[in-house]
Amino acid sequence: LFDSGIGGATVLREVRRRLPAEHLLYLADQARCPYGPRSPDELRAIAAACARWLIDHRAKLVVVACNTASAAALSDLRARFPATPFVGMVPPVKPAAARTRSRVVGVLATPATLAGNLLHDVVARWADGVQVVSQPCPGLVEQIEAGALDTPATDDLLRRYLAPILNAGADTIVLGCTHYPFLTPRIRALAGDHVTL
Ligand code: DGL
């Protein structure tokens, strides 16, 4: 698995739970964190370098444990390394659209994830009749990497990013970045009990 940093650890945890017999190799690409503000070309080059490293270390399958890299590079990776299966991330709009009662869903993600086609395709396919409010969240990944999970600065960012979603009437919020589950307690506290993450 790879990610721009510790975010993919939230994916690693689930993979370990479901596939306890596998040997897992995790690349936290903190040298190039954050990925979110980077261009698609840059992200494709970075993702290819990470995949190359994992394959050179005998990975038989690569999980792109990052929504940003998946949005920009998943199809490119599959074309570049045809012998290796790739599993990518996409913000979980499908379950959110199925469970919302207010018919408004918010998506928190990085700028590059929101710019990519992957999310677009999922919204078009699974969120028919649901208003999807997409909110780019620059700066959140940096706070999480710094371990600033429960600080006034992180709360300020979260308040700013949650406001348009809550004002639109969302009752369901999608964490569209593998780093964001680390902020679940703060997002719950600031969004209120009526909102499902
Ligand atoms: N964990 C990455 C994601 O899921 C964070 C990207 C970043 O480094 O900005 O999008």
Residue-wise pLDDT tens digits, 94-140: 999 999 999 999 999 999 999 988 899 999 999 999 999 999 999 99
- 16-45 core/surface letters (b: 16 or more CB in 10 A; e: else): eeeeeeeeeebbbbeeebbbbebeeeebbe
pLDDT at residue 117, rounded to an integer: 86
In short, whether 65's Cβ falls inside 6 Å of ligand 1 is no
| Residue carrying the six token digits 């028919």 | 128
- Looking at the chain, the whole-number percentage of residues with pLDDT higher than 90 is 97
Q: pLDDT (tens digit, 9 = 90+) per residue, 137-161? A: 999 999 999 999 999 999 999 999 9
- Which residue CA neighbors atom 9 of ligand 1 most closely? 36
How far is ligand 1, taken at its centre, from the CA of residue 25, in Å?
18
Atom number of ligand 1 nearest to Cα 37: 9
Atom number of ligand 1 nearest to Cα 7: 1
- Contact yes or no for 29/140 (Cβ under 8 A): no
CB atoms within 10 A of CB 15: 17
pLDDT at residue 118, rounded to an integer: 86
Query: Annotated catalytic sites, by residue?
Result: 66, 177
